Chain A
């Protein structure tokens, strides 16, 4: 928003951060740096360690080893642990964590107790925030008189009221229905950026992550497997896990036939013998070897069988999505593509021609696990 507010954003630095619970490693030597004002989204499946990482940042969990620096100040490290209330950050919780005995106004005003503002200023700030998140008329209500979306807005207003340089978001949209989720996602993105704070947001939803993030960190089994811009993560996933987790329409074993140069290869589709398509590889592949092909839904096009290029497939399901149709297409005995979009409807059991854009086809070494 204003320059003054933007100055409040803080840098964040994690070094070799680990957290163990008894015999389980929740975080394993995670390191990254975030510049002030960045919106970082940590993406990962359940049990990947993203909540633990966020709680370590908040000071709710004490890391087993490693260091955390917020605004170049060590808040967790060997012989150092700064308690949550001293870290000058705020947080939106997954279950909102609104105090049921305080009304909306007092919930939002809570973080201002540590502020040096005058009472009038504090009151004005609360009213302003309530208006900005669209719940000014609910100020005297108690949390259990609000709907889920309204409760989430209170939680957001409370986090913004804190006027701090770092805001943490713990899957704040996971309890909402899809309409409210989309609406609130936009509000979170807008209001947080307006506040000029650095944000760390965790989610298991890839579209939510890409929609919000300046930078995405992908976690799996407690390790940070990729840390990059959304575009890079989508187009150049670090491994099969990232490719899968960020959304693929299908995954097949293919044979590498020819190197085209510039990281491009011709691969042969096993279910359409003789059919070749061009794919991108992020590493050197041996010719003749069998590898894995990951196909992004966005690069798959359906057409009538009269079209010449592409492979033949059978539609096994079709769903209307409002702006078009999503199809599930079987292209081989054990190969199918899902979420294939088309503005035209192809009926179930009908034959179609499936063509692939090179940018949507990623070929990788067949993973041994994960």
Chain B
């Protein structure tokens, strides 16, 4: 009936010497065309522009920018004068902001996830909204509120002291802290979610006081706190919006702005800009690598099927109201004041301008948005252009990020995967302005324009740079959800008769659809409001919305610039609401249930 052989004779393959086996296996292996193609794309998108630009710091001649093959002269130059001051300011401001952001976000995350504070779900949504508002918009909102003849004066409040404080390091730190808090918040929240109540229970049962319990349990989320610090630091160091607006106007130079001015002044000094870029990257890469290393080793070790859901602390009525008021206060300062300030400001006649007539409301600025009278450019065309860029950039980034995320979470753990991991971590630390200037430099090299591709001063180049700047973060964003898809789900589909395409369409795609949509929306909205790369790379007469708004503000047309900002903001959030609504209507019920669990065991 059934026959079997328990003997295990040595196969011909196994008898071959190791070296021959290796050669045979290499020859048998198909050339990894996918990997080669992917790395070629990444090289053109990120590696080559950034590397060439950074090389200028020590070897200008290698890239035709000076007589020296090797020099340290520009390093000396970069650490002097305004540029040196910018580097110094960026380092201490980023450190301060990171500490404050981690503190704020830890308190907020704890209140939202571990107490019965009112409106917990709403605060998480508000945190997402805060994440989407760019720093230059926040600065504009605060300026509208605080400046003489601004919104506060319209409301009968004297804000001259706060105005003086705002245009200086204090204002810069406040805006950057608010901007860094969401990044930190989501990391700390994830850490707190993994911290099941059994750890607290174990400490309390074994006699620990409330204080000792906190001291015992807190180190478990230390990796998450370190991670939050690293991300806040990287985001603050690389911020351009505040440096370009608040930093510039308050004569408080920050490194990203000094880098920008090194190439925008005449004559452009690319080597000094390159040194600043090296400092920006070198100050964040070690932190990012460290947090990644620590996170991999520790934080998620506490996440297991056995981890009990965290227990919420029931606050008394008074404490509950007080803590809710605290949370409301934070979001009022972070989001409410600047957004409402900008909205009200966009309707205040003669905003920021001395006028003998009493202050009153007007719709003039919105009319000027449509029929521009100052610099001859309305918002329609730039906003349309920003939307077109947003569509293309978000789509391309989503596809590339998905491919990279899958590669990142593969269980094989080969060298390619490890290099992808390190590359993406390093790329997160590359500020947009560095990438933008790298693009200007690299895609204007004679060799590239003559022999590879001539994209200098074109929209495709701007689009490529925007894809490059979104890609690392987007990949990280997708890697988590993609890693949670068990390979067996796809295998089950294949075994039960589904082709590769049907497997992807019916099993993998529905599972990643929500994260794909969110990733797309994040990139889309960030692209619409992006300033650093747009400011550096926009082609002549094709300014995106953010650049057009800055042009109005630079021409003392604060009211029109504010109205444009409000319209852009409304469009960004409108797109999110519309897309999420459509997703809800169009997708089957099961697609929206993923991640829910109502019954266990």
Contacts and interface: CB of A to CB of B under 8 A. Distances in A.
Interface of A: 16, 18, 25, 28-35, 38, 40, 58-60, 64-66, 83-85, 87-91, 93-95, 97-103, 106, 110-111, 113-114, 142, 144-148, 158, 162, 168, 214-215, 217, 223-228, 238
B496 A162 contact: yes
Interface string B1-20: 11111101111011000000
Given A60-B495, A100-B593, A101-B510, A28 B8 contact: yes
A101 B593 contact: yes
B4 A97 contact: no
Given A28-B8, A223-B8, A226-B6, A111 B590 contact: no
Nearest to A32: B4
A145 B590 contact: no
26 contacts: A16-B11, A29-B10, A31-B5, A33-B2, A38-B1, A40-B2, A59-B494, A64-B13, A65-B11, A85-B495, A85-B496, A88-B497, A89-B495, A100-B511, A101-B593, A101-B594, A103-B590, A110-B493, A113-B497, A113-B502, A142-B596, A146-B599, A148-B601, A158-B496, A214-B2, A238-B6
Given A101-B510, A224-B6, A85 B494 contact: yes
Given A58-B491, A113-B498, 9 more contacts: A16-B9, A32-B2, A33-B3, A84-B494, A95-B488, A97-B486, A99-B507, A142-B593, A223-B8
Contacts of B591: 101
B8 A84 contact: no
Interface string B485-509: 0101101111111110010001100
Contacts of B9: 16, 29
B486 A95 contact: yes
Counting from the closest, the 4 A-B pairs by CB-CB distance are A227-B4, A101-B590, A114-B497, A97-B492
Contacts of A60: 491, 494-495
B498 A93 contact: no
A40 B4 CA distance: 11
B541 interface: no
B355 interface: no
A144 B601 CA distance: 10
Given A16-B11, A97-B488, A225 B6 contact: yes
Contacts of A29: 8-11
Given A28-B8, A111-B496, A84 B598 contact: no
B588 interface: yes
A93 B494 contact: no
Contact of B491 (A28, A35, A93, A144): A93
Contacts of A102: 590
A99 B9 CA distance: 41
Name which of A100, A103, A144, A223 has the most chain B CB atoms within 10 A of its CB: A100
B597 interface: yes
Contacts of A147: 599-601
A64 B28 CA distance: 11
Contacts of B4: 31-33, 215, 217, 224, 226-228
Name which of B3, B10, B594 has the most chain A CB atoms within 10 A of its CB: B3
Contacts of A33: 2-4
Nearest to B8: A223
A83 B494 contact: yes
A320 B216 CA distance: 41
Interface residues of B, number: 40
Nearest to A38: B2
B488 A93 contact: yes
B596 A144 contact: yes
A368 to B, nearest CB: 17
Name which of B6, B9, B486 has the most chain A CB atoms within 10 A of its CB: B6
Interface of B: 1-6, 8-11, 13-14, 486, 488-489, 491-499, 502, 506-507, 510-511, 588, 590-591, 593-594, 596-601
A94 B10 CA distance: 31
B3 A32 contact: yes
Contacts of A90: 495-496
Contacts of B491: 58, 60, 84, 91, 93, 97
Nearest to B593: A142
A16 B510 CA distance: 40
B187 to A, nearest CB: 26
B95 to A, nearest CB: 43
A91 B498 CA distance: 13
A147 B598 CA distance: 10
Contacts of A224: 4-6, 8
B598 A58 contact: no
Contacts of B486: 95, 97
A144 B593 contact: yes
Contact of A35 (B1, B5, B489, B510): B1
Nearest to A142: B593
A144 B6 contact: no
Contacts of A223: 6, 8
A30 B7 CA distance: 8
A101 B595 CA distance: 10
Contacts of B495: 58-60, 84-85, 87, 89-91, 168
B487 to A, nearest CB: 9
Nearest to A227: B4
A113 B3 CA distance: 35
A115 B82 CA distance: 74
B489 A85 contact: no
A40 B6 CA distance: 15
B599 A144 contact: yes
A329 to B, nearest CB: 34
B515 to A, nearest CB: 13
Contact of B489 (A16, A32, A99): A99
Given A29-B11, A111-B497, A144-B598, A91 B492 contact: yes
A93 B492 contact: yes
A148 B601 CA distance: 5
Contacts of A238: 6
Contacts of A65: 11, 13
A58 B1 CA distance: 23
Contacts of A18: 11, 13-14
Given A90-B496, A111-B497, A144-B596, A97 B5 contact: no
A101 B11 contact: no
A30 to B, nearest CB: 7
B144 to A, nearest CB: 46
B268 to A, nearest CB: 51
A162 B497 contact: yes
A159 B505 CA distance: 21
Contact of A145 (B5, B497, B498, B598): B598
A226 B590 CA distance: 46
Name which of B4, B510, B593, B594 has the most chain A CB atoms within 10 A of its CB: B4
A286 to B, nearest CB: 24
A142 B511 CA distance: 14
Contacts of B511: 99-101
B117 to A, nearest CB: 28
Nearest to A150: B599
A299 B400 CA distance: 65
A143 B4 CA distance: 39
A65 B10 CA distance: 12
B588 A101 contact: yes
Contacts of B496: 85, 90-91, 110-111, 114, 158, 162
A18 B601 CA distance: 37
Contacts of A64: 13
A113 B496 CA distance: 9
Nearest to B5: A31
Contacts of A145: 598-599
Contacts of A225: 6
Contacts of A25: 14
Contacts of B492: 91, 93, 97-99, 158
Contacts of A16: 9, 11
A103 B596 CA distance: 13
Contacts of A142: 590, 593, 596
